[in-house]
Amino acid sequence: MERTSTGFSLLMSAIMVAFIAAGTAVAKDPDPSRLLISRNAEFNKEILRVSESVYTAVGYAVSPVSMIVGPRGIVIVDTGLDVASSQEIRADFRRIVDKPVKAIIFTHGHPDHTHGASAFMDSTDVEVWAREGFPHEQHTLESAGILIQKKRGKKQAGFALSPEQRINNGVAKAFWPNRKSGIWGADQEVRPTHIFNSERQKLSVAGLNLELVAATGETDDALYLWFPAEHVVFAGDSFYKSWPNLYALRGTPYRDIRSWANVIDMIMQEGAVALVGGHTRPIIGKIEVNQTLTNYRDAILFLFDKTVEGINKGMTPNQLVDYVVLPEKYKNLDYLRPYYGNPEWAVRAIFSGYLGWFDGNATNLFPLSDEQEAQRIVKLAGGKDALGDLIAGAIKEQDYQWAAVLCDYLLAVDPKNRAAMHSKADALTALAEDMLTATARNYYLSSAIELREQASASGSE
Ligand SMILES: [Zn+2]
């Protein structure tokens, strides 16, 4: 791999060293945040030479941007989230080879892969390729008038967090959109000029032969790109180095997990010598690619099969997450660690994806409302003050999940209770400290900020 590095990565390393020192001093169990911090090595800003004609820019944008150099021009695979970062990539690509962009391939319609596209529109003749269904993963929700996923998405991404709070996104560096400057927004969107709707589409452009392959998994419009001349595969978000986000916290319709595993299998069959994922750094070497994809596919299928086994035993989602335990051989692989997605959420998603909301327990056919249940718990605890003492005790014992549950009870009967808001914020902050999954970490910390804001705007103590 050839590298064109920048001073930026050195600066970031220095900042991260300082951050590691600060972070480990306060964390109860330093491992999760230390591991998440070590992830920043995946986001060092540089251009990697993946094969003879393929260059991938990592760490500039939220997703890697690749350039395939052909005899008559270049092809760009994915375009990053924001135009400013992508303009920098375009300029650095030009230093390697000064040829015009002939085509852009979108692996799917998510903004982090498409919104930087205008930086690569060298002319109005650029062919922009995507798969049928582009770009609307959220279409099902939006067409039903459901909008809350936007708010939840910001919490998942941690946009309200400060740079000190936000380590990274698990599979991408921390990035804050700057809507005011217009570097990220609908006005910058480049629409596909070519849509394919078959299983496999052969494409000749810039003197290159490429193949687009339908790859339903994370989204219905997902594709992977196969470059047969140099045996390079561009997997889009079907692969990145993390436990995959088989369920996204912002709220998504069921992501077909079996189909996702099948896509990994199809990619394996191509026999690639280099694998460029939708996030994180490429994997180079035929054996490494094959081993990685084999483990990735098998871990996903293990989780799916075990979940189905538990479902057929009559287990509820809460029982299933204890029942489905990934074998050690997968847990210890860095590229299967839950930096971004989390196996527990996948288990729950399989249950609700196939069986819906009812967990099978007759008690839960018509449960008490939150308030009705909370009134009884408060009584059981001996009143609101006694419940407050229990919350303080749980926090003291570092039983943070229980503390948050107790705070919810207190807030259900006394929604303006500022002490409960602060205690819950403290519990969530502590949970975040021990959390490896960046999306969960961001969600905890964003919710804690929200609670503290509510508390300062609220009445009684
Ligand atoms: Zn992505």
Tens-digit pLDDT profile for residues 423-432: 999 999 999 9
Residue 326 lies in a domain: no
Residue 342 lies in a domain: no
Residue 309 lies in a domain: no
Residue 97 lies in a domain: yes
Residue 291 lies in a domain: yes
**Ligand 1 mean position, distance from CA 428 (Å):** 26
pLDDT tens, residue by residue, 248-304: 999 988 999 999 999 999 999 999 999 999 999 999 999 999 999 999 999 999 999
The identity of residue 317, as a single letter, is P
Q: Which pLDDT score is estimated for 135?
A: 86
Q: Which pLDDT score is estimated for 188?
A: 61
Residue 81 lies in a domain: yes
Residues 334-351 have a mean pLDDT of 97
**Ligand 1 mean position, distance from CA 134 (Å):** 14
**Ligand 1 mean position, distance from CA 192 (Å):** 18
**Ligand 1 mean position, distance from CA 188 (Å):** 18
**Ligand 1 mean position, distance from CA 367 (Å):** 38
> Does pLDDT of 131 surpass 80?
yes
**Ligand 1 mean position, distance from CA 444 (Å):** 21
Examine the domain organization and report whether 273 and 400 are in the same domain. no
pLDDT tens, residue by residue, 97-114: 999 999 999 999 999 999
Helix ranges (H only) for 282-437 are: 286-312, 317-323, 328-331, 343-355, 370-381, 384-396, 400-413, 418-433
**Ligand 1 mean position, distance from CA 63 (Å):** 6
313 phi and psi angles, rounded to 5 deg:
-85, -5
Q: Which residues contact 403 (CB under 8 A, 6 or more apart)?
A: 391, 394, 395, 423, 424, 426, 427
**Ligand 1 mean position, distance from CA 421 (Å):** 34
The identity of residue 422, as a single letter, is H
Please tell me whether residue 75 adopts helix, strand or coil conformation. strand
pLDDT tens, residue by residue, 191-239: 999 999 999 999 999 999 999 999 998 899 999 999 999 999 999 999 9
Examine the domain organization and report whether 166 and 276 are in the same domain. yes
**Ligand 1 mean position, distance from CA 260 (Å):** 15
Question: pLDDT-derived band of residue 179, with 50, 70 and 90 as boundaries?
Answer: low
Write down which residue in 250, 275, 295 finishes a domain. 295
Write down which residue in 295, 321, 348 finishes a domain. 295
Residue 351 lies in a domain: no
**Ligand 1 mean position, distance from CA 118 (Å):** 18
SS percent in the chain: helix, strand, coil, step 5? 45, 15, 40
Residue 188 lies in a domain: yes
Write down which residue in 242, 269, 295 finishes a domain. 295
Question: pLDDT-derived band of residue 175, with 50, 70 and 90 as boundaries?
Answer: confident
We report the CATH number of the domain holding residue 427 as 1.25.40.880
Examine the domain organization and report whether 282 and 420 are in the same domain. no
Examine the domain organization and report whether 100 and 237 are in the same domain. yes
Examine the domain organization and report whether 226 and 93 are in the same domain. yes
**Ligand 1 mean position, distance from CA 234 (Å):** 13
Q: Whole-model pTM?
A: 0.89
What range defines the domain where residue 120 resides?
A: 3-295
Question: pLDDT-derived band of residue 139, with 50, 70 and 90 as boundaries?
Answer: confident
